[in-house]
Amino acid sequence: MPSVLAIRVLELDDLTVVGLDGELHAESSPRVATVVADSLARDVSTIVVDCSLLDTIDAAASTALGRAAYSVRQHHGRLVVRQPSPETRAVLDLTGTSAVVEYGD
């Protein structure tokens, strides 16, 4: 059964909130990368990835999130991960993504 990920996007001036609901895996991570790229095209300064409803994340998706954060930094912006579960945070730590994202409540 394929993983299910719902993505909700809220655009506010120079801020984009990306809500993730479900499972973020290698096959769904390009959708998140597209949202980030679209936000950068709008010249936002902050992208908040809301993980409060995220069930799981795999290492490939975590690495993709790290690449997205690096891209945001290249545009002088910030990528903030909001409310990751302990399991999500552990995967982000394990893959080194925690070094390039910020965390917020």
pLDDT digits (tens, 9 = 90+) for 53-63: 999 999 999 99
Q: Per DSSP, what are the bridge partners of residue 20?
A: 7
Which CATH number fits the domain that encloses residue 69?
A: 3.30.750.24
Residue 20: give the domain boundaries: 5-104
The DSSP secondary structure of 20-38, one letter per residue, reads EEEEE-TTTHHHHHHHHHH
Q: Has residue 94 got a pLDDT over 60?
A: yes
Q: Has residue 2 got a pLDDT over 80?
A: no
Question: What is the side-by-side order of every strand in the sheet holding 5-12?
Answer: 5-12, 15-24, 46-57, 78-82, 102-104
- Model confidence at 1, pLDDT cuts 50, 70, 90, reads very low
* DSSP letter, residue 83: S
Residue 30 CB burial class (10 angstroms; 0-12, 13-18, ≥19)? exposed
Is 0.85 surpassed by the pTM of this model? yes
- The number of folded domains in the chain is 1
pLDDT digits (tens, 9 = 90+) for 10-32: 999 999 999 999 999 999 999 99
